[in-house]
Amino acid sequence: MPNEVVIGAAPLSLEDVVAVARGGAPVAIDAVARKNVVSARGHVEALADAPSPAYGVSTGFGALAVRSIPRERRADLQRSLIRSHAAGAGPAVETEVVRALMVLRLRTLATGHTGVRPETADALAAMLNAGITPVVPEYGSLGCSGDLAPLAAVALALMGEGEVTVRDGAVRPAGEALREAGLTPLTLAEKEGLALTNGTDGMLGMLAMAIHDLRGLLDVADLTAAMSVEAQLGTDRVFAEDLQALRPHPGQAESARRIREALAGSEIVASHRGPDCTRVQDAYSLRCSPQVHGAARDTLAHAELVAGRELVSAVDNPVVLADGRVESNGNFHGAPVGYVLDFLAIPVADVASIAERRTDRMLDVARSHGLPAFLADDPGVDSGHMIAQYTQAGVVSELKRLAAPSSVDSIPSSAMQEDHVSMGWSAARKLRRGVDGLRTVLAIELLTAARALDLRAPLRPAPVTAAVRDLVRTRVAGPGPDRHLAPEIAAVEELIASGAVLTAVEES
């Protein structure tokens, strides 16, 4: 079991979110957070007793906020809010997305700015720890007033309604799953419906996991670029530190360093150095890999900055301030997160695009500098990796479409009360598909480059690229007659996703 993630005084990290979402790490609320929750709840209960209406405490919501609700109907108000807002549609999103959403909402509840009761925060933590995950449909969030429908689906499960998945993946009625885990459904009190639904937690959770994945994938992209340069008899001189320093982008310097180190000690690269080499410069897809990958790294760094700010934010409306005021605000608008989700989709598409171009060069007998056509064992009888590049091209084309921004596509709702929205949830959903697509494209480049390096024998590749080639050979046989290629692509994708490829680099 992963280490417990403590919610409270210390800010959550991206790694904490991933540990809970993917690793099943348990959560606990610390004493500082509990004290803040109790204090804020006292302010809400004072407003509930006051004769003047307070938004979200004793009034309706959104365009219906003009109606004051009598005390005897306020439990009905909270229940109705959750039931009506749990209006999603479409397929269920992934369990890890829902768990990320849940732990981030719990983090905001623990700030003491939402006004929930301690038992409500405890109930959300208990559901996470029991491995009970509400079924959240894909569509229903406009990324403003929070990820409303997704968060409402979670709140509905806390109330013992709707459906959930349990640890073994089975879908169960929420009430039954709670009862079997020894948990009691909640009856929500004043303000709690809003507090459970008014956050950008879904889009932030997906951003956190995308950042985690892209950190590794950009390292893999530098490696596959190095293998492609080596396999195509490219030069390593363009990656020299003094040349890269002439354009001092930090991401570019990092990518060039990684490529340079991956090629160090290569007999293949050394074989075409010297006065007999007539090639002046390599194609852009080889020579400019650090510039493209580096720009992606710098974009990722900006996304990490935004995510870090969001992880210490209290997103709710209205919010409870330290002096007891309960104030309406617009912090639930998802623009800051939506923009970087959209921004990341651009380098995801472009890093995949340049990887596909490097792969295509290895397969073209007119440009591959002595490699057989399509790396086929018997070209004409065998097709080699011809159609693997088709798959890359199809994925890259899809990634280009996914790079079109969602966050400029506002659509008004709630009788024009909510007349500008972020569409951040949609941006997050397409970025997830983009990250998966990039992994596929890099897997095909890695598979192809490993085969091309084998075909350069007896010259030996660099220690780093040889170690990765040898790792691939534990799952995929070397050059030979055509085989069923799809399982080989999937096997290399799994090596990338598991971290085995980067481990091989570190240990070489």
Q: What is the pLDDT of residues 182-217, one digit of tens each?
A: 999 999 998 999 999 999 999 999 999 999 999 999
* 255/304 same-domain check: yes
What pLDDT, on a 0 to 100 scale, did the predictor assign at position 412? 84
| pLDDT score, position 254 | 98
pLDDT at 425: 94
> Within this chain, do residues 186 and 93 fall inside the same structural domain, yes or no?
yes
Task: Tell me the percentage of the chain whose pLDDT exceeds 90.
Answer: 83
Rounded mean pLDDT, 108-128: 96
Distance CA 292, CA 483 (A): 33
Residues 152 and 282 in one domain: no
Q: Looking at the structure, tell me whether residues 131 and 256 fall in a common domain.
A: no
Q: Of 199, 233, 252, which residue is a domain's last?
A: 199
Q: How many CB atoms lie within 10 A of CB 485?
A: 18
Domain of 109: which CATH number?
1.10.275.10
pLDDT in tens, 385-408: 999 999 999 999 999 999 999 999
Q: What is the mean pLDDT of the chain?
A: 94
Alpha carbon distance 161, 156 (integer Å): 5
Same domain flag for 217 and 320: yes
* Catalytic residue positions, numbered: 55
- Specify the higher pLDDT residue, 59 or 495: 495
* 438 and 312 both lie in a single domain: yes
Q: Mind listing the pLDDT tens digit for each residue in 220-253?
A: 999 999 999 999 999 999 999 999 999 999 999 9
User: Confidence class of residue 172 from pLDDT cuts 50, 70 and 90?
Assistant: very high
Per the rule left: phi > 0, alpha: psi between -120 and 50, beta: everything else, 260 is alpha
Expressed as residue numbers, the domain containing 384 is 206-507
Q: At what angle are helices 463-473 and 500-507 packed, to 10 degrees?
A: 140
Question: Distance (Å, rounded) from C-alpha 249 to C-alpha 267?
Answer: 30
Residue 164 CA to residue 143 CA, distance in Å, equals: 23
Return the pLDDT at 126: 98
My answer on whether 333 and 294 are in the same domain is yes
Distance CA 211, CA 226 (A): 23
Residues 251, 186 share a domain: no
Mean pLDDT of 317-331: 89
Q: Would you tell me how many other CB atoms lie within 10 Å of the CB of residue 235? A: 18
- The residue among 410 and 341 whose pLDDT is bigger is 341
How many separate domains does the chain show? 2
Give me the torsion for CA of 104, 106, 148, 348, rounded to 10°.
10
Please name which of 15, 24, 69, 26 lies closest in space to residue 47, comparing C-alpha atoms. Answer: 69
**At a CB cut-off of 8 Å and minimum separation 6, what does 118 contact?**
34, 37, 38, 41
Domain ends where: 158, 175, 199?
Answer: 199
Residue 418 confidence class, pLDDT cut points 50, 70, 90: confident
- With beta carbons less than 8 A apart as the criterion, state whether 13 and 93 touch: no
State whether 176 and 59 are in the same domain. Answer: yes
pLDDT of residue 447: 98
CB under 8 Å to 272, separation ≥6 — which residues? 233, 235, 279
Q: How large is the average pLDDT for residues 325-341?
A: 92
**Torsion sign across C-alpha atoms 105, 111, 36, 2:** positive
- For the beta carbon of residue 123, count every other beta carbon within 10 angstroms: 21
Cα–Cα dist 281/288, whole Å: 11
Q: What is the pLDDT of residue 61?
A: 65
Of 345, 314, 323, give the one whose Cα is nearest residue 11. 314
Are 213 and 342 within one domain?
A: yes
Cβ atoms within 10 Å of 499's Cβ, excluding its own = 12
Do residues 50 and 78 share a domain? yes
State the pLDDT at residue 59: 72
Token pair listed for 507:
């240990």
Q: For position 499, what pLDDT does the model report?
A: 97
Give residue 321's region: left, alpha or beta (phi > 0; psi -120 to 50). beta
Residue 156 has what pLDDT? 98
The CATH number of whichever domain residue 221 belongs to comes to 1.20.200.10
Domain boundary among 199, 223, 248: 199
Give 433-488 pLDDT, tens digit per residue.
999 999 999 999 999 999 999 999 999 999 999 999 999 999 999 999 999 999 99
Q: Are 51 and 150 contained in the same domain?
A: yes
- Eight-class DSSP state of 181: T
Q: State yes or no: pLDDT of 65 exceeds 70.
A: no
Helices 201-231 and 463-473 pack at an angle, to 10 degrees, of 110
